[in-house]
Amino acid sequence: MEVFLLISVIFFAVLTQSISGFGVALVAMAFLPGLLGIQTAAPLVALVALTLEPVLLVRYRLSLNLRAVWPLVLASFIGIPIGVWGLQGLDEDLVLAFLGFVIAGYALYALFQLRLPELRHPLWAYGAGFLAGILGGAYNISGPPVIVYGDCKRWNPTEFKANLQGFFLLSDLFVVLNHAVGDNLSTAVWEYYLWCLPAIAAGIFLGLVIGRRLGPAVFRKVVLVLLVVMGFVLIF
């Protein structure tokens, strides 16, 4: 039963990111810590993400804007070790609830077309990347700050997906390296990962098929609704 639940969660998480460009860690980390424990769930989800992201990056490579991604990545490299080594002692429920409140609040704001102003100053990228690195290192959920940043930069759907995969790939690689140094990649983590490989492949294929059928307006609404749902999952 445990393996079945694990595979189901990973399939849905991979499907979500394959459609929208994000969500694998948020979806998986909303369920897996209670099933496997945080010490197993965090490195496992990092490995799953690191398997998924190169495939999606190849799919959207022509829309990748490296100039937009590099500041996010460089700042996240500073934040990731802080998250891995410095924030594990904080109240996890409090931190995630606060994050969920911010995510859901922003998404509801945008759904009602009360959009935040477009971000133009380059320093916003460093701030978003640094915060994403801390959250990624501590709880493996680096996406929300970068997702909000990308939406405020008005990235189009393919650029949004491509830039997120470029950021996630490099930052998650650094997260996995930190887990390896911290001796968190246990035998159990690798066994669970092998069980998940068919679910990862199926989620990628189905997600890309569905994703091709979504127009820009529908895509934006899907992203915002997912943010609301994930925000409330983190809060409660």
- What predicted TM-score, i.e. pTM, was given to this entire model? 0.81
Q: What is the pLDDT of residues 49-93, one digit of tens each?
A: 999 999 999 988 888 888 889 999 999 999 988 887 765 566 767
pLDDT in tens, 9-31: 999 899 888 888 888 887 888 78
Residue 118 CB: number of other CB atoms within 10 A?
Answer: 9
Tell me the pLDDT tens digit for each residue of 201-212.
Answer: 999 999 888 888
Mean pLDDT of 108-122: 76
Q: Cβ distance 231 to 39 under 8 Å?
A: no
Q: What is the DSSP letter of 61?
A: G
Question: Residue 121, class by beta-carbon neighbours within 10 Å (0-12 exposed, 13-18 middle, 19+ buried)?
Answer: exposed
What is the model's pLDDT at position 89? 64
pLDDT of residue 130: 95
Q: Is the pLDDT assigned to residue 44 strictly greater than 80?
A: yes
Burial per residue of 150-180, b for 16 or more beta-carbon CB atoms within 10 angstroms, e otherwise: bbbbebebbbbbbbbbbbbbbbbebbbebbe
Q: How far is CA 187 from the centre of its chain?
A: 24
